[in-house]
Chain A
Amino acid sequence: MIVADKKPIEEIIEQVKDHERILILGCNECVTVCEAGGKKEVGVLASSLRMYFMNQGQKKSIDERTLERQCDHEYLEEIRDSVDNYDAVVSIACGVGVQFMAEKYHKLPVYPGVNTCFMGVTEKRGLWSERCQGCGQCILATTGGICPVSRCAKRILNGPCGGSTRGKCELRRETDCAWQLIVDRLKALDRLDDYEKLAPLKDWSTDRAGGPRRVVREDVQE
């Protein structure tokens, strides 16, 4: 899922301080799972902001709403009737949701309430880690299911580099060396001979480098 992290409240205060009627808009999917932007977080943020502004002697109206998702038209349409009640929205969905809000409600200021970080897994509650960077050309078949693009700090395709130490990356001791993981996995799959196959130069044109991407499926379009 998409993993995000709450922005410091000071940043959000700075964004909304000149608005009077604010909507805190959450999302019931990814950001709920990583406990950054779901219904609970909406409540906490709204309450904190109300108290902050009350303490400043400012009366602001801060409403709370959580949509199923903020990346599909149907769900964002649900607030069509009430958007005129607000002069700003703090969306604590991922960056996708914030942007879609901006697109659909062209004249309504929308501010991000979380920092969107990566596509990853829940290792355990309170610990999420990156697994995929959406390079657009998945090579997991050759690396035993472990991605060197997202899990190697240097995205080396013929790794490891000389800095791999006891299975950890030279960058941070908590980070596993992706290539150690790949070697271990190839061993477990009895495919260690694959290690010597030279991975070809990657086509990054399907990655960020190729510009904003689209997936088009004419067979399902109306």
Chain B
Amino acid sequence: MRLKYPATVKIIRVPCTGKVDVIHLLRAFEKGADGAYVVGCMEGDCHFNSGNLRARKRVAQVRAILNTIGIGGDRVMMYNLSSSEAPLFVKYAQEMTARILELGPNPIKLAGKPPAMALQDAEPISATGT
């Protein structure tokens, strides 16, 4: 459909969001991602039965870890849509980008740096399996 979505979103394609594990999301943040979100099929419609349900639980786990270690659990999200819903994909991308811009950059990058650098480093990453 050639709809535009924010250029700061990098897509990593997976055959099913069930393939995304906790460590993948954590490593993204470890390497400096400001946000990460997982886009899977509608619940009940997973091509592989329940991969998207596993993804949801793992996203929840990552959220809890990020909250505990002070990075902020709101930086990670789970979204569901069907593969034909391109406008919804765009909407999620915009929503996530706006949220991350508001949250600011990944605090790891700021640790030890003066506050002025804050706004220039926003880079959400998305893993999508639709």
Contacts and interface: CB of A to CB of B under 8 A. Distances in A.
- Direct A–B contact in complex, judged by CB atoms less than 8 Å apart: yes
A76 to B, nearest CB: 25
A54 interface: yes
- State the majority secondary structure of interface residues on B: helix
A55 interface: yes
Contacts of A50: 30
Interface residues of A, number: 16
Contact of B68 (A10, A40, A56, A57): A10
Given A56-B111, A57-B111, A51 B23 contact: no
A48 B21 contact: no
A51 B71 contact: yes
B26 interface: yes
Contacts of A49: 69
A47 interface: yes
B21 A40 contact: yes
A44 B65 contact: yes
A9 B22 contact: no
Contacts of A55: 69-71, 107-108, 111
A28 B59 CA distance: 25
A44 B23 contact: yes
29 contacts: A8-B68, A9-B68, A40-B21, A40-B22, A43-B23, A43-B26, A44-B22, A44-B23, A44-B26, A47-B23, A47-B26, A47-B30, A48-B26, A48-B65, A48-B69, A49-B69, A50-B30, A51-B30, A51-B69, A51-B71, A51-B108, A52-B69, A54-B30, A54-B111, A55-B69, A55-B70, A55-B107, A55-B111, A57-B111
Interface of B: 21-23, 26-27, 29-30, 65, 68-71, 107-108, 111-112
Given A9-B65, A51-B108, A52-B70, 5 more contacts: A10-B68, A40-B23, A48-B68, A50-B30, A54-B30
Interface of A: 8-10, 40, 43-44, 47-52, 54-57
